[in-house]
Amino acid sequence: MKHFWAWSMLLLGVGSLQTALASSPTPTSPPRVAVPSSPKPPTSKLAVPTPASFPVPTGPGEVVPSLGNNHVRSVDEPHLPYNSKPPTSGPHLSNIARWGIYDRQIPNELQVHNLEDGGVMIQYDCKDCSALIGQLEALVQDYYRMADADPKDGRYKHIIVAPYAGIGTKIALTAWERIEKLDAFDAARIKRFVEAYVGIDHHPQK
């Protein structure tokens, strides 16, 4: 009898559950959340620059756009014209001019490779200016002595003094992608330029 009573109650409960489920409304899909097709970025006071708007590295002299690092086989081989005088980058020979003091102009295609190797060119264009030339040479000789005295200053060997016709001023300082022109000897400005750029290698990264 007890078993009959338990089964009766179980069947009654199941029947009630089925009736309740049959009368319940069919569940609806959850509401969709509208997502804007072009969401606005969060407002910020700090603007992120695009590659074209990154600031040019600071330093003495005028920035000259790079003409690349292509090699030419000779000074007579046709190539892209330089965009500064003296040149600051671009086509050049596979060898360099020996570091030192010259009394004749060094070909563009030769001196550009010196710049690529981290050199600084100090070039002049003047007549009857032996005093100016002597000042330039003495300044560079001081750097050479520094390089000889201490290996950590060896980069100061990478300087050349030479004449260069048609630069438009008495003195032109050049490094890779940099140029500064002076109308008179200014030791402080020359040293600032030299020490900012000498010894920096500019070969393309592999």
For residue 193, give the CATH number of its domain. Answer: 3.40.30
Residue 9 region by backbone torsions, left for phi larger than 0, else alpha for psi between -120 and 50, else beta: alpha
Confidence of residue 163 (pLDDT cuts 50, 70, 90): very high
Q: Give domain status of residue 97, yes or no.
A: yes
Question: Which residues face 62 on adjacent strands?
Answer: 179
Candidates 122, 87, 93, 134; CA nearest to 110 is 93
Q: Give domain status of residue 79, yes or no.
A: no
Question: Which residues face 124 on adjacent strands?
Answer: 163, 171
Q: Give domain status of residue 40, yes or no.
A: no
Q: Does position 167 have pLDDT exceeding 50, yes or no?
A: yes
Confidence of residue 205 (pLDDT cuts 50, 70, 90): confident
Candidates 118, 115, 106, 111; CA nearest to 164 is 106
Question: Does the predicted model carry a pTM greater than 0.95?
Answer: no
pLDDT tens digits for 111-142? 999 999 999 999 999 999 999 999 999 999 99
Full residue range of the structural domain in which residue 175 is found: 86-197
Q: Give domain status of residue 26, yes or no.
A: no
The amino acid sitting at 65 is P
Helices 187-197 and 130-149 cross at an angle (nearest 10°) of 40
Q: Give domain status of residue 30, yes or no.
A: no
- Distance CA(83)–CA(98), nearest Å, equals 24
pLDDT tens digits for 59-110? 999 999 999 999 999 999 999 999 999 999 999 999 999 999 999 999 999 9
